[in-house]
Each structure stands twice: as C-alpha cells, then as structure tokens.
C-alpha cells in the first residue's frame, strides 16, 4: 500500500555521464530544487517535482515499484531490464516516453581486429562477454546463433585479451576504447541515448498532469536546443536565392519595410548557424544579418 503522493518524483543518475545533462535539461524546463544534505534527494521549489539521485541501473526498478514516477536513463539500461522481465514472463512495468537527445551511444558486437567478419554466424560456439545479457541473448536467438554469454559488470573490453571470451557486446560511442584494445565493432544491437521513462500504466490524475506539463516543456526545450533566430534584410528579388540556404528554417516571417522591394525577414533555424552560412547568405544578398539565441518556445 503506497501512500498517495501529490508531488511528482523523477529518478536521475547521481553521478556519471547522464547526471549533469539530465539536471540541466530539467532546469531548462524551469525546475529548481533544494538539495538534501546527503545529496540523494532534491526538493522541487518552483514546481512540486522532486528528484531522486540514484545509480542508473536502479531507475527502471524504481519506476516499476512506483517509488518514482519518471526517470531519465539510457535506453540500453531500460531495454536490458525490459528484456529481462520479458524473458521471465513478467508484465512490462515501464516504457520509454521520449528520447532526450543526449548520451548517444550504440550497443555493438566487437571482435578482434584480425577477424575477417562474415556475419553473426561466425559467433557460433564462441564466448561473448557483456554487461547486457538479456539484450545479447535476445539478439543471438533472433540470429539463430548459439554462443555463450559471459556476464561481466565492467571492463568488458579487456575480456578477449584475458582469454575470458572471443568477442564482446558493449556500449560504444567514439570507438576509441575498442581500438585501444585491438577490437573492432562489427554490428549494432541497439542505438541508444538518454530517454524519459515512466510506468507502462498511466499515472494518477495529479501526477499525470504534472508529467504532462513537464513533457510539454521538454518538447519546447528540445526543439530550441540548437535553434537560433536569424534576422536579416533583403530585397524581394533575391528571395529565391536566399530561401534555399535556409533548409532547416521554419517558414520565415516576412515584413515589408516600405513601399519598395525591401523586406525584413525573421527565420527560426533548427540547425547550426555557422559563420560560413552567414557569409553565404550575405553573398546571396542578405543584409544586416543578426543571430539571436532562443530562450524559450511554447508551440
């Protein structure tokens, strides 16, 4: 019997790769907190939304048990624990609500540099070291490959050198760790990034409303993350040359400056507005170019 809560509780990583970006993203949604002395709990001040700071592996379980309402965690962790539950015939208790655009990485199979990779069948009868046994087993089954899964909690990349396994299945971002260990990635099991996770079933009314509010703010925050507002002037006849240079912009607002051909334009660009782009726009006839940061957006 869990007592009724009227505050929303979000689990995030206490320290590690996702800790800072998760807090920064929530702060950009207007959340602020008072931190407890033991640094495990942050009490929401601007909204009744509190944070629980935990190991990332604990986040799906905290959602499943209803201790937390939402969590920010790598898709790899969520999918691994989801697959594990499924393999034990347990009902799904949590799911991905939305991707958050940071913490990107892949769950890859990697083999020694010297291997001439022919395909998954090559793993037949081999040992594969991983911290993701459920995802790896599911993949091996789908590929119809009979390999032995060697479970390691860390330093998976040195397993081949230690003779514990022939191949590995691990998270890769730049690939530098792999090549430092004379391994090469050969196939991807999962494209991962940080995600907002929540219960498979709907939240109750009060917390559901808070979760909706947060998700609407996240929509806005994620849309403007790389967006800039571009202001410039141009004469009407160069517009056909200018607009193709703004493929990532929403339909620009166009204002007539006087009775003549002069226009003032305002375009919200979702891609990077580099010096090079500004120079191209200028060559195509744009004048008085100005790039402004976008602080907030509510569609």
Examine residue 74 and tell whether it contacts ligand ATP (CB under 6 A).
yes
Q: What is the C-alpha R_g of the chain?
A: 25
Interaction partner, residue 188 (ligand ATP, Mg ion, none; CB < 5-8 Å by kind): none
Residues whose CB is less than 8 angstroms from the CB of residue 201 and which lie 6 or more positions away in sequence, other chains included: none
CA angle 74, 212, 297 (to 5 degrees): 90
Two tokens, residue 199? 């219960």
Selected from 8, 9, 69, 76, the binder of ligand ATP by CB under 6 A is 76
Residue with Cβ nearer ligand ATP (107 or 210): 107
Residue 172 Cβ, how far from Mg ion at the closest point, in Å?
16
Residue 56 Cβ, how far from Mg ion at the closest point, in Å?
4
Exposure pattern of 92-131 as b/e (b: 16+ CB <10 Å)?
ebbeebebbbbbebbbbbbbeeeeeeeebebbeeebbbbb
Stretch that binds Mg ion, among 50-58, 97-105, 168-176, 219-227 (CB under 5 A): 50-58
Interaction partner, residue 92 (ligand ATP, Mg ion, none; CB < 5-8 Å by kind): none
- Residues numbered 188 to 227 that lie near ligand ATP (CB under 6 A) are 192
Selected from 12, 25, 56, 129, the binder of Mg ion by CB under 5 A is 56
Selected from 44, 60, 82, 103, the binder of ligand ATP by CB under 6 A is 103
Query: DSSP labels for 165-182?
Result: -SEEEEEESSSHHHHHTT
Selected from 5, 21, 47, 57, the binder of ligand ATP by CB under 6 A is 57
Residues whose CB is less than 8 angstroms from the CB of residue 282 and which lie 6 or more positions away in sequence, other chains included: 289
**Residue 164 near residue 86 (C-beta atoms within 8 A):** no
Exposure pattern of 258-281 as b/e (b: 16+ CB <10 Å)?
eeeeebebebbbbeebeeebbeeb
Exposure pattern of 216-242 as b/e (b: 16+ CB <10 Å)?
ebbebbbebeebbbbbbbbeeebbeeb
Residue with Cβ nearer Mg ion (13 or 181): 13
Residue 229 Cβ, how far from ligand ATP at the closest point, in Å?
31
Residue 160 Cβ, how far from Mg ion at the closest point, in Å?
22
- Residues numbered 3 to 32 that lie near ligand ATP (CB under 6 A) are 13, 16-18
In total, the chain counts a number of residues equal to: 299
- Residues numbered 11 to 40 that lie near Mg ion (CB under 5 A) are none
Q: Which DSSP symbol is given to 184?
A: E
Selected from 10, 52, 111, 171, the binder of ligand ATP by CB under 6 A is 171
Residue with Cβ nearer ligand ATP (81 or 122): 81
Selected from 50, 56, 80, 166, the binder of ligand ATP by CB under 6 A is 56
Two tokens, residue 174? 């730049």
Residue 15 Cβ, how far from Mg ion at the closest point, in Å?
10
Selected from 30, 57, 233, 289, the binder of Mg ion by CB under 5 A is 57
Residues whose CB is less than 8 angstroms from the CB of residue 242 and which lie 6 or more positions away in sequence, other chains included: 234, 265, 281, 284, 285, 286
Contacts with Mg ion, residue ranges (CB under 5 A): 56-57
Contacts with ligand ATP, residue ranges (CB under 6 A): 13, 16-18, 55-57, 74, 76-77, 103, 105, 171, 173, 192
């Amino acid at each position: 019997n869990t007592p009724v809560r009227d505050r929303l509780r979000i689990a995030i990583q206490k320290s590690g790769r996702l800790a800072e970006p998760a807090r920064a993203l929530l702060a950009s949604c207007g959340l602020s907190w008072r931190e407890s002395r033991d640094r495990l709990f942050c009490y929401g001040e601007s909204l009744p939304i509190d944070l629980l700071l935990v190991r990332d592996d604990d986040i799906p379980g905290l959602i499943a048990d209803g201790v937390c309402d939402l969590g920010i965690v790598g898709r790899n962790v969520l999918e691994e624990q989801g697959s594990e539950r499924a393999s034990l015939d347990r009902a799904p208790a949590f799911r991905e609500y939305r991707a958050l655009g940071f913490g990107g990485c892949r769950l890859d199979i990697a083999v020694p540099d010297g291997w001439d990779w022919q395909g998954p069948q090559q793993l037949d009868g081999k040992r594969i070291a991983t911290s993701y046994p459920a995802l790896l087993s599911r993949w091996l089954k789908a590929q119809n490959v009979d390999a032995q899964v060697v479970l390691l909690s860390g330093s998976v990349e040195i397993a081949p050198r230690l003779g514990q396994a022939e191949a590995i299945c691990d998270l890769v971002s730049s690939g530098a760790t792999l090549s430092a260990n004379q391994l090469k990635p050969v196939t991807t099991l999962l494209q991962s990034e940080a995600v907002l996770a929540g219960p498979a079933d709907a939240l109750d009314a009060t917390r559901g409303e808070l979760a909706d509010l947060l998700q609407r703010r996240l929509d806005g925050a994620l849309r403007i993350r790389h967006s800039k507002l571009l202001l410039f002037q141009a004469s009407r006849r160069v517009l056909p040359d200018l607009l193709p240079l703004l493929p990532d912009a929403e339909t620009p607002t166009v204002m007539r400056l006087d009775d003549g051909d002069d226009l003032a334009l305002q375009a919200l660009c979702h891609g990077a507005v580099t010096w090079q782009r500004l120079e191209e726009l200028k060559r195509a006839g744009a004048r008085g170019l100005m790039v402004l940061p976008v602080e907030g957006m509510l569609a």
